[in-house]
Structure 1
């Protein structure tokens, strides 16, 4: 097989390129910019393009497939030539499906919890020494890359609702046709892509209708929107497995989950993680994993990068980082930390970074999301607004939208750093929530400094 990647430097695209190269395919690729870690990863794999930029001379009739990345424009010269030659052109998910036609496909969709649930399934299958391929949107402990394509009989995929490519605007998860499907919940997000809630909701109905006959939908019945969608659009050729928060206890900061007559301690915590765990359990059960083996495997699952990731800690303080940015994700993450450590004061810093979160008309969606924080900061850089060519976001509109008494709004990272380093020395936890980087603030170094200040205080 000869495969060419247009935009090979993408975070997931370059991982697929490496995976196919390891499988024995002849792989080429181009991009107009390649950053770390893709740059080093491609170089190490011998797949780094000889020069930066597009080269339509690489588009030849003998190519079996051209894989088009999200960042390639519709007028890309390589894409235009591939069309002229009548080559097979695939978006990323379309190609994943092509490679998994003979596999049992597990696809995890939903507005939140996709990466964690996918990671849990992968972790258990690996512990049980079952052969499987995968596609996940984060770096996971124990896995060299985020995409793997072999001849394994199973593939586990995180199902993203973002558009597949520049020429294929349908959501990625519409192309994966699962046998085992999970939906973790539906909360309107990405308003730059899905301008109305009804349009966003329709994408999930399409996903449900693309579950293979005889397949199963594992869904979060505690999510009212999702439960109503399922109830009003049931199919008679698939099975349904609802789930919610399973029985659990918390003792000395350790959560123990109960499934049937079995119990097992977890390294992760919070209602959303417990629901993710229950969804993963049902998927693994479909793949032949017993309850006791599932619980034993889950004991040392510590989570995906930036998903309630513990950065630094000592006896009286813990500092977490989470990818949460949409309202429902933010609320669930705050509740999780507060529930696990109810006696500690909780400081939360939410960065508005996405198109949705920086939209003044979206602010009311955040009402109540920070309710359980003892001290709360909303940070957004004016630079982020400029890059996205968005209008000014008045601080007062943020305060009104969140409806959180005492909310502090900041725009300068130096101001945020100063505030954090002056947090009083008493039992406390700090929670960073963002899909960005706080305008370049080094959160890892700052977390160390906060702990040191706290220890010395």
Structure 2
């Protein structure tokens, strides 16, 4: 699909994180963009309004017409959506967003970052390094990255860096998104069971990564974390004429609560991010950047100024003795990696972690045991569930005893009232030096910035 031939595009379910950013990216190119959703939350609502982009609340089939060059269908829209039915009646081409990205990047070198965790961070590091190196590229990433206005850019660049999600493409296309991009360079950061609602067994889930690796073309490259058992098994499998590049965490040391990369030619390089998982992410990004021709000196100069993707171990507030972080810890493996990172980075003083069980999988009794020992290194552990988000009722509803057993932590404190959670955090002032709010949700709309300021006041 020639991007320059696209004049009009409509988004069904425009409010999604990637969907509204893609809409804004196309709008920025002068394409006429319309869209709708049953609800549009912040920050999408404000961003769309500021761009004067036409997005309606509620489904309206009258918006669909034969002059549209493309209709992009979000995962949030169901099969009986009236706009979708109208598109089908008109016989218009329907894309999931990964299909659309693939179509407009047909002539680009496609780098796709896959894995159960670390995708956004690896993608963000690559973006930061390439920008610092003065390279022109397109991108799609699931988190805001400093120095980039949007999380999607589509242009005439010869390279595109894509965060490849393993979740389904749309209600009409039940393939994982990362299988749609046809990568030339693929990355697998790690494989830990997630999305139980669509992959009911671990085997179902793991198979998707094997399919992803198998899609690596001849003369293509597959980069995988050899410190992750399953990623190593999948990545090391023999594939004809595929360049296999296993990686492990970058060598580093911690001094005075700061992390320094140990390098052969650049000495010790101080970085702003920390944790073994981030040292793995840095190495994965370095392997990609090396293939793309970024000199070693440029890579280390750039990584020294990288501050992390938004909501990924983001420092909210600090004073001389207290730090408050937040992190998008959406799954057991991510929670464990983040807590372990805090534990090893800040060896002086105690750590208090508030974790929100938010996703479908996390609230499932058949999955929650995956959280065993995930909070092991938290000196004070709080788990919060928003009662409005509980998807399983009656006998299936999670109780405090279920959560303590699943986490293997009898000292864990359970909350369904966010006000009480906030009080409990404030009660730790003077006892704890490091606080962390970890969730892919919103802690019942608790203002984390305000709370962080209270904790360091």
TM category, shorter: over 0.9
Report the secondary structure of 2:348's partner residue.
Answer: coil
Q: How many residues are treated as equivalent by the alignment?
A: 450
Per the alignment, residue 251 of structure 1 pairs with 255
Mapped to 2, the partners of 1:271 and 1:166 lie a distance apart of 36
Report the secondary structure of 1:430's partner residue.
Answer: strand
Query: Of 173, 179, 195, which residue of structure 2 is paired with 1:174?
Result: 179
Per the alignment, residue 441 of structure 1 pairs with 446
| Cα distance, 1:28–1:218 mapped onto 2, change above 3 Å | same
- Once the two structures are superposed, what CA deviation does each residue of 1:135-172 show, in whole Å capped at 9, x if it has no partner? 01111111111111111111111000111111111111
Mapped to 2, the partners of 1:30 and 1:383 lie a distance apart of 25
Mapped to 1, the partners of 2:327 and 2:145 lie a distance apart of 15
- Once the two structures are superposed, what CA deviation does each residue of 1:392-411 show, in whole Å capped at 9, x if it has no partner? 21111111111124222222
Mapped to 1, the partners of 2:44 and 2:444 lie a distance apart of 22
Per the alignment, residue 284 of structure 2 pairs with 279
Cα drift, residue 217 of structure 1: 0.7
Mapped to 2, the partners of 1:23 and 1:124 lie a distance apart of 25
Cα contact 1:355–1:388 (8 A) shared by 2: no
The TM-score normalised by the length of structure 2 is 0.95
Establish whether residue 340 from structure 1 lines up as the match of residue 345 from structure 2: yes
Cα drift, residue 239 of structure 1: 0.5
Per the alignment, residue 71 of structure 2 pairs with 66
| Cα distance, 1:366–1:181 mapped onto 2, change above 3 Å | same
Report the secondary structure of 1:87's partner residue.
Answer: coil
Establish whether residue 31 from structure 1 lines up as the match of residue 37 from structure 2: yes
Report the secondary structure of 1:265's partner residue.
Answer: strand
Mapped to 1, the partners of 2:57 and 2:369 lie a distance apart of 43
Q: How does 1:22-171 map to 2 (within 5 A)?
A: 22-49=28-55, 51-171=56-176
Mapped to 2, the partners of 1:5 and 1:181 lie a distance apart of 28
Per the alignment, residue 314 of structure 2 pairs with 309
Cα contact 1:385–1:391 (8 A) shared by 2: no
Mapped to 2, the partners of 1:386 and 1:272 lie a distance apart of 31
Per the alignment, residue 384 of structure 2 pairs with 379
Establish whether residue 187 from structure 1 lines up as the match of residue 189 from structure 2: no
CA-atom RMSD in angstroms: 1.7
Cα contact 2:355–2:438 (8 A) shared by 1: yes
Query: Of 5, 14, 19, which residue of structure 2 is paired with 1:8?
Result: 14
Mapped to 1, the partners of 2:14 and 2:395 lie a distance apart of 29
Mapped to 2, the partners of 1:389 and 1:169 lie a distance apart of 30
- Once the two structures are superposed, what CA deviation does each residue of 1:425-455 show, in whole Å capped at 9, x if it has no partner? 1561112111112222221111111111xxx
Per the alignment, residue 3 of structure 2 pairs with none
Mapped to 2, the partners of 1:60 and 1:384 lie a distance apart of 37
Cα contact 1:39–1:48 (8 A) shared by 2: no
Mapped to 1, the partners of 2:369 and 2:50 lie a distance apart of 47
Cα contact 1:316–1:426 (8 A) shared by 2: no
Cα drift, residue 260 of structure 1: 4.2
Report the secondary structure of 1:283's partner residue.
Answer: helix
Per the alignment, residue 224 of structure 2 pairs with 219
Mapped to 1, the partners of 2:393 and 2:175 lie a distance apart of 23
Cα drift, residue 292 of structure 1: 0.9
Cα drift, residue 45 of structure 1: 2.1
| Cα distance, 1:125–1:221 mapped onto 2, change above 3 Å | same
Cα drift, residue 422 of structure 1: 1.1
Report the secondary structure of 1:256's partner residue.
Answer: strand
Unaligned runs of 5+ in 2: 1-5
Per the alignment, residue 293 of structure 2 pairs with 288
Cα contact 1:104–1:155 (8 A) shared by 2: yes
* Bigger shift: residues 331-340 or 3-12: 3-12
The TM-score normalised by the length of structure 1 is 0.95
Report the secondary structure of 1:42's partner residue.
Answer: helix
- Once the two structures are superposed, what CA deviation does each residue of 1:76-116 show, in whole Å capped at 9, x if it has no partner? 22222222232211100000001111111111000000001
Cα contact 1:66–1:87 (8 A) shared by 2: yes
Mapped to 2, the partners of 1:311 and 1:442 lie a distance apart of 11
Mapped to 1, the partners of 2:394 and 2:131 lie a distance apart of 44
Cα contact 1:325–1:350 (8 A) shared by 2: no
Per the alignment, residue 209 of structure 1 pairs with 214
Cα contact 2:33–2:54 (8 A) shared by 1: no
Per the alignment, residue 335 of structure 2 pairs with 330
Cα contact 1:72–1:166 (8 A) shared by 2: yes
- Once the two structures are superposed, what CA deviation does each residue of 1:104-138 show, in whole Å capped at 9, x if it has no partner? 11110000000011000001111111111110111
* Bigger shift: residues 26-35 or 263-272: 26-35
Cα drift, residue 74 of structure 1: 1.0
Mapped to 2, the partners of 1:211 and 1:81 lie a distance apart of 37
* Bigger shift: residues 351-360 or 418-427: 418-427
| Cα distance, 1:389–1:23 mapped onto 2, change above 3 Å | farther
Q: How does 1:406-425 map to 2 (within 5 A)?
A: 406-425=411-430
Report the secondary structure of 1:448's partner residue.
Answer: helix
Cα contact 2:9–2:70 (8 A) shared by 1: yes
